[in-house]
A and B are shown apart, each in its own frame.
Chain A
Amino acid sequence: MDYAIETISLTKVFSDWWGRAKAYAVDDLNLQIRYNEVYGLLGPNGSGKTTTIKMLLGLLHPTKGHALLLGGDGTDPKINRRIGFLPEESYLYRFLNARETLDFYGRLFGLAPNVRKMRTEALLEMVGLRAVASRPVGMYSKGMARRIGLAQALINDPDLLILDEPTTGLDPIGTRQIKDLILKLAERGKTILLCSHLLADVEDVCDRIAILYGGRIQAEGKVEELLQQSSRRQIVTSDISDEAVNRIRGILEAENAECEITSPMEKLETFFINTVVEAQQQARPTSGAVSTTQIGEFLMAEKSQAGILDKLVSASASDDKPVEPPVTQRIQPSEVPAPEPDRNLLGELTRSAPVAATEQVGPAQPSPSEVAEPEDRKVRQGVLDALTGKTPASTTDRPHEEPKDEEAGHG
């Protein structure tokens, strides 16, 4: 069987100056990642994830064994043409702006000028940096740089995407967006290798995972198989009466089973996204990245390579203005399972950081837009502060930089 990524007893030993073995970064690793699979490589810091990726791409030479990417060598331009790579940090040229950055990488792929231009604009739109695209990348916050890093990995519409810690430094919306993107790309038949130690991210998107420690695979398999607790059962119901609950409890006690009945909690991620989406609908200005949940149209096009190119060329030839990618997926508050914000959670969060009240009497003068703000917005601001662990003073000092600060807090 063909694999998208295959390593055969891949080993990397870092030696000291005298050639004595110092550390086994990767030790006899045999990975087999199938086409159209989202594969998660997990492991604590220093477990050999990044070293493995560097060897796959020819940035490091294996001490022993070899690696195959898409059936070929990771340094072969024919193979590189079909790969998108996002390194552990977005190593970008600080003196280029976002548009120039994407254009430069587009040139390295030998893309035709109109395709390059069209994809650059589509990707800028997708990662929400179109408004700041002419600022040097060196001035970007970590999360914004991460977004450009992701965009450069997608400019060639790759068949195989290698993402090393893609969500570090990103706000929850950016994280969600990357996860959505990964799922969408997987739907379109792409193969994705995801390296992370953020377990929630991996759990949400990966088909299979491997846990690396000391350069060796300690566990590998499908996520549900690895995580399913076969000795326990969970029942989720709609809102049923207390009487029904008591009856169920009776049945379960008769079975002599332990049981615990609560209302399910909304995921914090979902709650956070709802909050920010609402704020966006009120068109609050932001100096950071504009979080969209749109995905570049060219990435969503049909599988046939020729078809995509034809479409891109004809699209950009027919009119010069940048193609507006249609909204492929937008998380609407109404679509989210629990439409009502959980008041308990909200109360709990605001209590843990009593900022909402002190905001108005803070030492810094609130800006006019702050004053004109609706009351519930302020409460939410308090929640955001609690989430990011910020002090109220810094909030009022820089009222327009929420997404940026959140990223910093997150990373």
Chain B
Amino acid sequence: MGRIWAVAVNTIRQALRMKIAVIFIVLLLVLLPALGLTATGDGTLKGRLQTFVSYGLSLTSLLLCLLTIIVSVYTVTSDIEQRQIYTVATKPIRRYQLLLGKLVGVVVLNIALVTLFAGIVYGVVVFLPGFYDASEGTLRQIDNEFYTARAGLVPAAPDVDEEVAALYNRLERTGQLREAYPTLPPEQILRELTLRKQLEKRAAGVGDGLVWEFQNVRPLDPDQSIFIRFKYDVAVEPPNGLIYGRWQIGDMRQVRYGMNFKTPIWPEDRADPVRTFREIEVPARVIAADGYLAVGFLNVPANSTTVIFPLEDGLEILYKADTFTSNFIRGTLLILFRLIFLACLGLLAASFLSFPVAILFCLVIFFTGTVSGFVLESFEQLSASAWQVYSYTIGALVRLLPQFDKYNPTAFLVPGRLIAWSLLGRVLLLMVCIQALLLLVLALIVFSFRELAKIVV
């Protein structure tokens, strides 16, 4: 351990004294406060805060990612190319200890820098409203929508498999299937039918109602508000663009048995424009003691159109599940996980490539990782077509790609969404314990068996 630590300390010294880290540190120290002054967003205080958090954290993350790649690659390749490795590797230290020492050094450096810069961003975010003469209402709004960590619950997709199977069989029997879908393969037809059925369950005809049930709604504080966030879609455009809805929110099980209400049922009649996100604020008291909550919607006859809640984002319950601070810390940890992954990637690349090639290799992986959603989707499409072999070979590798865009902390912090511990655990498991560890083991194997005195050209 003493040897690993000695190498780690040396790596940190190298990063700092060779001015690699210093450039990035100075850049961030200048840019972050400057951003605090210049980021205005849509002009409102909330917009300012959101823009700053978004730019500040993205910038910190990007620059530290680049720094990590450069330092982890440089610390190994420079030892080999400038041959300090001759004196180090011939000391009583195993090669894996040497590489682990480098990793520890890079990670410790990252922890320090992430803490420093996230601290600066946090400080600016917390103190920024103090510089503005914000009204009570604005402050309340940013408290509810920004300085919060709201969990979002979406209703589970209804199980429509049986109905779909029945429909499919009926259509096939009557020969309508080939008529309606002349070219599609059976799986795709099933998928289409499933979507259609599910959408049916989210549609309310004139005078009809819909009820969604949620379990485990656990707000941080029972005295606060929860929010029903929804978006209407319609079959026929209403003349004034508004939909009238009658909402009932609470523990509907009480109604069924005619008991006295233990928790209130919150009624709300409102008119909202179509295809726009709206939020209903409801006191958290309506949630039953066991975390149960039902949301009912009645499509009042005045609308004269079927109202549809779109499948992916038609309805959601939002409630403050944690404080902004702890959410911010978890966001910072997401960045750190990303850096640990990149450090392992850098070490792997440096274990068999020369400096410029290794850097290029890491950058390609990094940028692919930041658009992983797009990459994965395109491969999904490939595997759906005839390219089965392709998807089993390259596809397996693609799944090893890091998904930086999916676990981007700003995507959570800007709308004040909760980064759940479970999500953090999942990222830790996937990105650090599986992907990064795999890279590290590969790096250790390659580094242990390569000829260190052989210069890679």
Q: List residues of chain A with CB under 8 Å of any chain B CB.
A: 54, 57-61, 74, 77-78, 80-81, 83, 85, 87, 89, 91-93, 95-96, 100, 104-105, 107-110, 136, 149, 152
Contact = CB atoms under 8 A, between A and B. Distances in A.
12 contacts: A57-B90, A59-B452, A80-B92, A81-B92, A91-B84, A91-B87, A93-B84, A95-B13, A96-B13, A104-B10, A107-B6, A108-B7
Interface of B: 2-3, 5-7, 10, 13-14, 17-18, 82-94, 451-454
B92 A59 contact: no
Contacts, number: 77
A108 B454 contact: no
A105 B89 CA distance: 11
Contacts of B91: 80, 105, 108-109
A93 B86 contact: no
Contacts of A60: 451, 453-454
Contacts of A107: 2-3, 5-6
Contacts of B13: 95-96, 100
Contacts of B87: 85, 87, 91-92, 105, 149, 152
Nearest to B78: A93
Contacts of A93: 10, 14, 84
A296 B89 CA distance: 25
Contacts of B17: 95, 136
A349 B21 CA distance: 54
Given A59-B85, A77-B94, A80-B92, 8 more contacts: A87-B87, A89-B83, A91-B82, A93-B10, A95-B18, A96-B13, A108-B88, A108-B92
Contacts of B93: 77, 80, 108
B395 to A, nearest CB: 31
A378 B351 CA distance: 56
Contacts of B14: 93, 95
A83 B87 CA distance: 11
Given A95-B13, A108-B6, A85 B90 contact: yes
Contacts of A110: 2-3, 92
A85 B84 contact: no
A96 B10 contact: yes
Instruction: Summarize B's interface: helix, strand, loop or mixed.
Output: helix
Contact of B84 (A61, A80, A92, A109): A92
A150 to B, nearest CB: 11
Contacts of A100: 13
A58 B88 CA distance: 12
A74 B86 CA distance: 13
Nearest to B15: A95
A74 B90 CA distance: 8
A83 B451 CA distance: 20
Nearest to A82: B92
B155 to A, nearest CB: 59
Given A59-B90, A81-B92, A108 B18 contact: no
A105 B93 CA distance: 11
A78 B85 CA distance: 18
Contacts of B3: 107-108, 110
A85 B86 contact: yes
A100 B13 CA distance: 11
B233 to A, nearest CB: 62
A91 B87 CA distance: 7
Contacts of B7: 108
B202 to A, nearest CB: 62
B216 to A, nearest CB: 52
A61 B451 contact: yes
Residue of B17, B82, B90 contacting most chain A CB atoms (<10 Å): B90
Contacts of A87: 83, 86-87
Nearest to B84: A91
A164 to B, nearest CB: 9
Contacts of B2: 107, 110
A141 B75 CA distance: 24
Contacts of A58: 89-90
A252 to B, nearest CB: 55
Contacts of B88: 108
A59 B6 contact: no
B83 A91 contact: yes
Nearest to B454: A60
B90 A109 contact: no
A96 B14 CA distance: 8
A55 to B, nearest CB: 9
Residue of A54, A59, A80, A83 contacting most chain B CB atoms (<10 Å): A59
Closest 5 pairs between A and B when the two form their complex, measured CB to CB: A107-B6, A77-B92, A95-B17, A59-B453, A108-B91
B280 to A, nearest CB: 61
B92 A104 contact: no
Contacts of B454: 60
B410 to A, nearest CB: 35
A57 B91 CA distance: 10
Contacts of B83: 87, 89, 91
Nearest to A56: B90
Given A61-B451, A95-B13, A95-B14, A104 B90 contact: no
Contact of B89 (A59, A61, A136): A59
Nearest to A89: B83
A61 to B, nearest CB: 5
B101 to A, nearest CB: 10
A95 B5 CA distance: 18
B90 A80 contact: yes
A110 B6 CA distance: 9
B94 A59 contact: no
A235 B198 CA distance: 113
A347 to B, nearest CB: 46
Contacts of A54: 86, 453
Contacts of A61: 451
Contacts of A85: 86-87, 90
A91 B91 CA distance: 14
A80 B3 CA distance: 14
B442 to A, nearest CB: 20
A78 B92 contact: yes
B130 to A, nearest CB: 42
A210 to B, nearest CB: 21
Nearest to A95: B17
Contacts of B89: 57-59
Nearest to B10: A104
A152 B13 CA distance: 19
B352 to A, nearest CB: 15
Nearest to A83: B90
